[in-house]
Structure 1
Amino acid sequence: MKPLYVIIFTWLSVFSLFAQNDKDNNWLSNQSQPQFDNILEPVKFKAEAQKISDTEFKIILNATIDDTWHLYSQHIEEGPLPTDITFVDSGIDYQLIGETSEPDVAPYFDEVFQVDVKYFSNSAQFVQTIQLTNPDLKSITVEVFFMTCNDEKCITGDDVLIVPLSDDFEAAALPVAEIDEKSKAMSEALDLKISGWDQYQPQDAEEQSNWMIFVFGFIGGLIALLTPCVFPMIPLTVSFFTKSASDPKKGLVNSILYGFFIFLIYVLLSLPFHLLDSVDPEILNNISTNATLNIIFFIIFLVFAFSFFGYYELTLPASWSNALDSKANKVGGAIGIFFMALTLAIVSFSCTGPILGSLLGSSLTTDGGAMQLSLGMSGFGLALALPFTLFAMFPKWLNSLPKSGGWLNTVKVVLGFIELALALKFLSNADLVLNLGFLKRELFIGLWLLIAIGLALYLFGKIKFPHDGPLQKLSKTRIAVGLLTVAFAIYLIPGLTNSKAANLSLLSGFPPPLFYSYYQQESDCPLGLECYKSVDEGVAAAKAANKPIMIDFTGWACVNCRKMEEQVWSTPEVYKMLKEEYIIISLYIDDKRDLDEGEQFSYLKPNGKIKDIKTIGDKWATLQTINFKNNSQPYYVLVNPEMELLNETIAYTPNAGTYLEWLKSGLASFKGN
């Protein structure tokens, strides 16, 4: 595989996992979260015209900016995207006189992009003078494209403004694309007209601490330190700095600077993801559940796994590291040390790339967006950097380091088995969203069982890989990890059965759901519960049974959906409540099966753009966005058959007691208690 493709695939795998968890891990603890109006619009534009003469006008665009957010200037050369204002049909019906003015502000240092830029807070006004060439012109159209950021995320937006030039102008709707009558009718049918929002106001949610992501990244960095690509570099690099400098203090300063640059490089690698936070509400889900991409990522992780096993090396071009090393020697000073740190990042790629791709994807959560990715990368970089600084400060500690040897290759091979297990998750995602029925729960767990057995046999010296030397005796650490692996394999065995023990609650979210099984199931719904996959069918059943409805927005590839079903829904009290008191409507927003041709239609979005509704998932994802202004899963709504809200909506709620109380309050509201 070409080195460039390895880099690209690693970035894609991180982003895919990031997107999936961005969708999945809407973390909530001990309280409910009605996620209504969860689509951000921090900047709003209004336009007006001031008449100067019969043919000359000032067009004024006023931007209102939410607290903590800022809007960027039109004149930016690097960093964020500049505000772009387009006067449609200028040069035909009117001419622009001069440039579009904006507030005169001093440049600020932007923490996100690490550059000096001009931006506006709270409000901004843009003014353009125009000269009419068509005296009968009643209005002009202005298009605005902009980026806005706060301390955690960046969002791009666009707006189309109609500016009246005369008092007799009648405001018309923005020009939008046309859809046929069938599409109009089917689009209207997606609006459930949920009532009761005035009674159940959104509450604040308790988010997972972003610093936990930093901790996970730090742990990943510590693991990377124990690989053959990094560990041997520690004493060599520390010795270089402490012995090459004429002044011991200078050597210490250089080693600290070296560690700082390692940390900085990994932080900088996360910055492009801040631009990815500007996507529309459903694109992250579409990427993470795309079957083709998941299959590609499955193959990538297989490639990484067999590289860890030692069958080949995935390295970046030697010319890159040689060129950087040469540059470091020629330049010297702080810049030279930076190039040395960059050389380490490139040389160690074959060990750090797969760890970053796996670790960050499994730890990122929803609302922090790219900021959480930056924190994870920061933790990873800090863990890699610390040894080089600490051992330079305390050189005697080097004597306590274990010597490089075969144990480093053992760590690498163990990581290869972990990569192999993670690869199956991508293949499972593709199988689930396409409903192929190939990698069902028992086969998935069986493959994990074989991987666990293979790892145990390796740790006990029964199998070897290309770079393993002769094993004289088993170390205590190797025996301990081997016994833990055997215990894990034993834990997996009940997952192959058709019994209550097959739940494997500690692994909820990783294997396919319990009902996606080779065994005959009571239904194709979670835990054998009765559920409906269509809103119309579910509402009809609720009216017939005179029961309240729980709308379950879920996904085949949704990790937290599986955790809710297998850890919360499975508790006896919750299970009984769902089974006996509610009609469940489960809507899979990542179901990639095509709708029948007669059910496919075009949905006209509020911004005038058209979205083609071709799959079952397209339909339910759009229904969720229209009715709840929310696009995360799991997401639960309790309504009566008349679509009246019974209580606040909630998202991921891992506390079974809290979830049960929520169900009880909805039932009491339905019964009028």
Structure 2
Amino acid sequence: MKIGVFGLFLLLFFTPVGFANPVQGAHIEVALISEVTTVKAGEPFTVALRLQPETHWHTYWRNAGDSGMPPRVQWQTPEGVKIGEFQWAYPERVPFAHLMNFGYSGESFLLAQVTTPADYALSELHLQANARWLVCEKVCIPGEAVLNLTLPVTHEPAVIDKKWQSAFAKTRAQLPIVVDWQAQFQFVDNHLVLKIQNDSLNPTIQSLAFFPIEKDLIHNAAPQAFVQEANILFLRIPQHAFFKTAPAVLTGVLVITRAGKTDSYEITAKPDSVLLPATFLQAQRIGQVADNSATINVTTEVTSFFNLLLMLGFAILGGIILNLMPCVFPILALKAVSLAESQGLSVERQRWHGVIYTVGVGCSFLLIAGLLLGLRMGGASIGWGFQLQSPLFVAILTYLFFAMALSLSGVVSFGTRLMGIGDSLATQQGYRGSFFTGMLAVIVASPCSAPFMGTAIGFALLQPTGIALLVFLALGMGMALPFLLLTLFPQWARFLPRAGAWMNTFKQFMAFPLYLTVVWLLWILGRQTNVNGMAIVLIGLVLLAFALWVWGHNPHVRPYWQWLHRSLSLCAMGLAIALLNSSLLTPMTTATAIRVDSAEQRLISAYSAEKLAQLRTEGKAVFVNLTADWCITCLVNEQVALETPVVQQAFIDKKIHYLKGDWTNVNPEITALLTQFKRSGVPLYLYYAVNASEPVVLPQLLTPTLILDVLNTP
């Protein structure tokens, strides 16, 4: 009897039948389980990674959506044993603030098929899974564990494990059915348009959701519009902000609810032109029924008229404020001079100059908007001020400002058409000068971002092309409005000084702000490249000055000497331009760290999405500063607010981690954060209080008092 009890003890505790070790992680239990308790050599069977998060916590699907990470496993198996890819049940849409993730809010099973060779000789099968996962609620916690599963191998048919039988069956019922339906897709007008045709679609669809396998194709949080016409289904979904290029084929999971029953299908669509039916384009309400009795379910994100008016108002207001930013000051000063000089002109001609200047500003904003939207549709992750991320563009702008400054200083005289509406205002060329002054004002304003402007541009970049261009046009209208009003209402100009000899002195004086602008641009260039890149442009400036001096000082009357002077000038100019092609004007790789000021106990790091997630997971207070060396607004904010002793001491006292993101050169991680908060350019300031789920978004113009108020808010 004693032997029998001892044998029973051994049987219960040392027989490796379905032996698995569940792991209890933070807010989740993870285990490797099997559908069978015994394995027959040569016959496939199924195992699963079981994830059981706590209530209100969730894990992720294969495409996690806007954030998150799908579970991953590295297998270690005996020789000859093969394990297939995970089979994923269809996901849920898991909203988080303005983001949308794809995952599972409850218990989930990721199935994988295991195949042993027919000549497998061992008496047991040991599987090891090195698993990694991410579980999230208001914060996200990564986890990893080594999971083990040991099963006996016999020559008998495998025995189903009753404990997990229903779980495996339920999961299989939620696996998308791989179908070969006729499907075409097209990316057009910032939207994915999808056409699917099959007789299985005949029953009326109550709701649906499309989950692409590939990331960054659709705007995950946007409602998905669909139309059903008999056995044809049309979908229209806004594309992702970081959409690059259309895939060769589009694969995704279509989850459909009909008569209270939910089915899922894995479809593969081929690229082709898709023409939406007229009934789709006319639908404005959810559940509208067309005359042909085709049911139309529309849940598309239609920009409301009120929101559009609000954003247009923000754009106009931001454009007006943009005139007050330091980067536009030289142009404003020259325009003020031109107004004083033009007081003798007829009212009609002054008004025309104002209108043409406005057209120049508007055309420039539309040109930048078209380029910005086109590059984003082509896959570039860029935003407002993107052109200043190019050292070549900064170098060209440096040449331009230097030439303008030389002209105002009297080194060379080639008119002021490019700088303001000046001496040639009374001529036909003055109208062209008005137009190009407007264009130049926009170019020099590109590093700046005014209050309200960032919100308007961020809104525009998520809209269809027509609405986006309208918002940019409103921004240009706001920028041109002060000068336009002065020309439309000449009586206001009486407040300006009368024209006189002081004008020439003032123009020469205004050369010095332009020289300072050149120094600032050279500093940006040095930060983008290195001192060698800056030296190349300095050499180019010397050649440019020489070329302009030779061109403007040609006292010779004889054609031969005139030809020689101009040839020498053109050669010097050509060399200056050729230097712009130097390999030294190549952006440096973004530094991985800004600086560490341990002496002052300041917790400063370079921004990265991983670093921010880590600090938030640890429950730390974080202040994020997204900036760029070419952003004057950013630099002013740092000097007058962020770098003041009182603010820095508050960071130290409250143990606030300061993450600084440098967007001087292209940085996709920073662009992603800007897009997340619907901004298209820097600056962006975020404050995450201890254990806060959402940050406080600070204004674009900072003061020490404002920052301290935010930091002291409970």
Fold-level match, TM-score > 0.5?
no
Structure-1-length-normalised TM-score: 0.42
Q: Which has the larger radius of gyration?
A: 2
Task: Kindly indicate which of the two structures has a greater share of residues assigned to helix.
Answer: 1
**TM-score, normalised via structure 2 length:** 0.40
The structure with higher relative contact order (CA 8 Å, sep 6+) is 1
